[in-house]
């Protein structure tokens, strides 16, 4: 990447984060953070139902009020 392209990309980064805040917030999350979508939660509940033992991640998520609150889309 040449210097001019790099400078353009760096200049547009704040614009993109304002125009697409969801992408900016996802980019700031660590790569190891689990995705808590319906499929992930359903898989953990299925594991809990089949083994009879709650997965530690699910227990931690359920006990965290911020983790299970509804967020506007």
73 residues of the chain, pLDDT tens digit each: 677 776 666 666 665 555 555 555 555 556 666 677 889 889 999 999 999 999 999 898 888 887 666 666 6
70 and 43 within one domain? yes
Q: How many domains does the chain have?
A: 2
Angle subtended by helix axes 38-51 and 56-63, to nearest 10: 120
pTM of the model: 0.47
42 and 22 within one domain? no
Residue pair 29/36 in contact (Cβ under 8 Å)? The answer is: no
24 and 3 within one domain? yes
40 and 22 within one domain? no
| Domain, as residue range, for 42 | 34-73
What pLDDT sits at residue 38?
87
Nearest to 40 by CA among 57, 52, 26, 23: 57
Report residue 8: phi and psi, to 5°. -65, -45
What pLDDT sits at residue 12?
62
What pLDDT sits at residue 64?
84
What pLDDT sits at residue 47?
94
Q: How many Å apart are CA 39 and CA 42, to the nearest integer?
A: 5
């Amino acid at each position: 990447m040449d210097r001019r392209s790099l400078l353009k990309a760096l200049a547009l980064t704040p614009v993109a984060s304002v125009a697409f805040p969801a992408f900016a917030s996802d980019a700031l999350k660590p790569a190891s953070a689990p995705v808590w979508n319906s499929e992930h939660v359903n898989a953990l509940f299925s594991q809990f139902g089949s083994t009879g033992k709650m997965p530690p991640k699910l227990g931690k998520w359920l006990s965290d009020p911020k983790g299970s609150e509804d967020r506007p889309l």
